[in-house]
Amino acid sequence: MVAIVAMAAPVRLAAQTGSASVTADTLPGIPLATPVTLQPRIISAYAALLAAAMLSLLYLYRGRAFVVYWIGSWLLIAAALGLVARDYSDATLRSVLTGLALLFTVWASGLMRLSVESFPQHVLRWGGRRLTIMAAAALWFLVAPFVVPLSAIVVTGTIATEGTIKDEHKAANKIVVETKDGVEHVYALAADMGGMGYISSHHALILHNNSLINLNTLEAARAGGVKRYLYSSSACVYPEHRQTDAAVTALKEDDAYPAQPQDAYGWEKLITERLCTHYREDYGIETRIVRFHNIYGPYGTWDGGREKAPAAMCRKVATAKLTGRKEIEIWGDGEQTRSFCYIADCLDGVGRLMASDFGDPLNLGSDRLVTINQLADIVCGVAGVTLGKRHIPGPQGVRGRNSDNTRLRHVLGWEPQVALETGVGQTYKWIEDQVKQRLAAPTRS
């Protein structure tokens, strides 16, 4: 079974787990849980307390001859306390609950010793008091561990209720991450991110939100017994000083160190890469790390400030075409360079990497370098229009970035296949339809 943790605008956290699914509508970058699921060991604790109450009633009804019911109720209470204690992170409270559980166990053992005379004679012949004391201890050590499922639902943070949270500082602590029984692979694709305009102006928010997302998701996967975990990193991890020339040397995976990402988005990605590596070393979870290079395609974010360059260019060209404008705006001189990877190639590569035995970071992107001006010309060609370019001040990111696919070809025996013109054609067609719908919609007064 596979779980996919992904986000889309405004932001949506979704974990799809076979026949069961868990989704949470959110504010930007802040998951807000709608389902509230009790952990199995909590349910087991409630069941133990209910059984203890029933045994106590039986004891009161049947009399002292059935003191075993009374003793059993104390043991069940002890088990319940032990189960609840496991869910508290506060060491003092956990110790108190565990101590109470042991106290109830000893109390039950003492009741057995005092009332052993009331037991049937054949029990006495099998060991008498020693047997009853040993049985009490064995019951505790056997019952408590086995009522805890091996693949329990893991809830991290404070459970939030459905609705809108206005205070982001409060909302950030209300993340709920869940894994279901039987999930073996997790694709961690969720991130608070966007185009250069968004990334360059929301450093604190991005670093804060993405750290929470990835810390909670990875720990939930580990605690839930997930076997393989794919982390979606980014080419933004590469040092800024290696990307100052438009004619950039393609970036190899080892170029990430010494580290100097340009933005907080890249720093968080790099830190989580290290976390995945250490989780693999310390806990045995098979992590895979993929560094995406400008993934694009239809059905993605295409306006609002979070869209990437290909989607933004398609929207600008489509809007100009449909409204009769003769030019589009481009940030900077348009000579900054990038490579762009179509979504179909991305999915193909991710599947191949997850099935491989390669645990180190791996680039996934096209190695065809184009300028933003060239990208605009490709989009115009697909749209069948000729438009002027008006260059305006705006965030441009690094001057040049390209993917070195040497390791990709060696590890997977594969590299992206979809030509930029083909991928842009599919993307533009979908975005033009969205622009048509928006222009046809009645305007609000």
**Catalytic residue annotation:** 265
The kind and range of the H/E element at 427 are helix 420-440
Nearest 5°: phi and psi at 152?
A: -80, 160
Nearest CA to 388 out of 376, 375, 371 is that of 376
User: What SS3 class is residue 383?
Assistant: helix
The residues near 142 (Cβ < 8 Å, ≥ 6 apart) are none
Taken in order 248, 249, 253, 257, is the CA torsion positive or negative? Answer: negative
From CA 24, how far away is CA 157, in angstroms rounded? 14
The residues near 431 (Cβ < 8 Å, ≥ 6 apart) are 298, 302, 311, 314, 315, 318
Q: Please provide the DSSP assignment of 27-96 as one string.
A: BTTB---------HHHHHHHHHHHHHHHHHHHHHHH-GGGHHHHHHHHHHHHHHHHHHHTT---HHHHHH
Q: Which two tokens stand for residue 397?
A: 């990111």
Nearest 5°: phi and psi at 89?
A: -80, -25
From CA 66, how far away is CA 152, in angstroms rounded? 36
Q: Which two tokens stand for residue 442?
A: 């009645």
Q: Please provide the DSSP assignment of 297-313 as one string.
A: -TTS--STT---HHHHH
Question: With contact defined as beta carbons under 8 Å apart, do 44 and 147 qualify?
Answer: yes
